[in-house]
Structure 1
Amino acid sequence: MRLFIGLSVPDLYRDNARSMIDAVRATTPSKVSWTKPENLHLTLKFLGNVDAASLPAIIEALSGIRFPAFTMRAGGVHAFPDKGKPRVLWLGLKEGAAECADLADLINQALVPAGFEAEEHPFRSHITLGRVKRYEGDDLRAELRSREIPWPPFTAENFTLWNSDTLPEGPVYTPQAKFTLC
C-alpha cells in the first residue's frame, strides 16, 4: 500500500481549480501533469509504501489524535522551487496554515511509535495543482495567478488516511480511515 494522510477540500475548490487549470492548460506551452480536481487535497504526511499488516497500527495511532476543527482558505499560487524553473505548482493557504502545521506535527509524533520517522523538513501547507514535466520558459506562476479567483473559507472537520494506487490514467486515492477533528 502507498499511504498518505491529508485534508480534503470542498467540491467548490475542485470546480474552481478545474476552471483555472483548464484556462492555463490552453495557453501554456509547458507540459504539466495537472492534478485531477477530484484528487485535490492537502497532504499532512506521506507514509510511502507500507505493508498492509501495518494498517491497524497506523489507524490506532491516528485515532488517538485530538485536534479542533479549524477554518481553511486557499489563496496564492506558488511553485517549488520558489525561483527559477518551476517543478511543482501549488496553491497556498491564507487561513489555516498554522493549524495544518500543528496537525501535521501531531501526526508525526503519533506515528513515531508505529515505526515511522518524523519529518525533517519544515511543513509547508499547500495543495498541489500540477507537476511540470517539460518547461518551455513560459511564466506558469503568472498564468495561474492571473486566473486565480477568491477562495471561500471552509471548515476542516476531519483528516483522512488514503491509499494511492498509480494507474496509467493517473493516481486513484481510496480512503482507508477518516479521523474527526473535534
Structure 2
Amino acid sequence: MTRLFTALEIPAAVKTHLSLLKGGLPGARWIDPENYHLTLRFIGDIDGRMADEVADALDRVYRPPFGLTLSGLDCFSSGRAPHSLIARVEPTPALVDLQAEHERILQRIGLPAEGRRYVPHVTIARLRGTTSADVALWLAAHGDFRVPRFDVDRFVLYSSRASVGGGPYLIEEAYPLAA
C-alpha cells in the first residue's frame, strides 16, 4: 500500500519565513521546512495498480500557472483541543479550480469523495497537550504573518509513510502547469 496526496510545493524563500515562526508554543511539534506543502487532495493508502491509475489520470490536468499568497495564521481543533497550527492560504479561483479538478478526477477513477471541506493551508506544527489559551497567545504575537505572492507552476503527487504526520514526503510525480 502506498499513501498518496496531491499538493503544491512551497518555495524556499517562503519556507524560510515559515520556519522563523518556530518556537514559543508548548506542546508544538514543528514541521521541518522541507516538508511544508499545500495539500490539494489527500488520497490515502492505495495499492500499486490504483497508484498508477492516479498518476496517469493527473497527467491530464491542463491549467495555467498562477500566484498564491500566505496570509495569517490559525489553528485547527477537534472539539475543544487544538491539533494543528497553520498558515492560511488566500483561496484564489485558480487554486480552488485546480483542487476541484483533482477531486473530480479522483472520484472518476473510483476513489471516494473527500468528506471534509477544502481549506487551503500550510501546516507548520502539530499540537499535543497545547491549550487553547497558549495558542491564542501565540497567534496574537504572530497573527500578522504574510509573505509576498509566489508563483505556482506545477503540482506534485507525494507519497508518505503511515505516521502521525509531518513527513518525510517523497515526490512520486511532478505535473507542470502550462501557460
Q: Same fold, TM exceeding 0.5? A: yes
**Identical-pair percentage:** 25
Aligned to 2:36: 40
Q: Does 1:78 align with 2:74?
A: yes
Query: Conserved in 2, the CA contact under 8 Å of 1:79 and 1:141?
Result: no
Q: State the alpha-carbon separation in 2 of the partners of residues 141 and 18 from structure 1.
A: 19
Match of 1:92 in 2: 88
Structure number with higher helix proportion: 1
Shift of 1:161: 0.2
Corresponding position of 1:4: 5
Offset of residue 10 of structure 1? 0.4
| Residue type at the aligned position of 1:43 | T
Which amino acid in the other structure matches residue 99 of structure 2? A
Q: Check conservation: 1:77, 1:145, Cα contact below 8 A.
A: no
CA distance in 2, matches of 1:83, 1:151: 30
Name the counterpart of 1:106: 101
| More off after superposition, 64-73 vs 146-155 | 146-155
Shift in Å, 1:59:
1.2
CA distance in 2, matches of 1:137, 1:116: 35
State the distance in 1 between where 2:98 and 2:6 align: 11
Q: Counterparts in 2 of 1:28-67, with a 5 A limit?
A: 28=25, 30-67=26-63
- 1:180 aligned to 2:167? no
Paired with 1:137 and 1:122, the residues of 2 have a C-alpha distance of 23
Aligned equivalent of 2:119: 124
Instruction: Report which stretch shifted further, 107-116 or 38-47.
Output: 107-116
**3-state SS of 1:68 partner:** coil
Spell out, residue by residue over 1:112-167, the C-alpha distance to the aligned partner (whole angstroms, 9 max, x if none): 23221222332111111111111245432442452354301111111000111257
Higher deviation after alignment, 126-135 or 96-105: 96-105
Please, what TM-score do these two structures have when normalized by structure 1? 0.86
Q: 1:144 to 1:175 in 2, by over 3 A?
A: same
Shift of 1:36: 1.0
Q: Normalising to structure 2: TM-score of the pair?
A: 0.87
Task: Count residues with an aligned counterpart.
Answer: 176
Amino acid at match of 2:111: F
Q: 3-12 or 53-62: which moved more? A: 53-62
Q: Which runs of 5+ in 1 are unaligned?
A: none
Q: CA deviation at 1:88?
A: 1.2
CA distance in 2, matches of 1:8, 1:70: 13
SS at match of 1:177: strand
The partner residue of 2:141 within 127, 146, 151 is 146
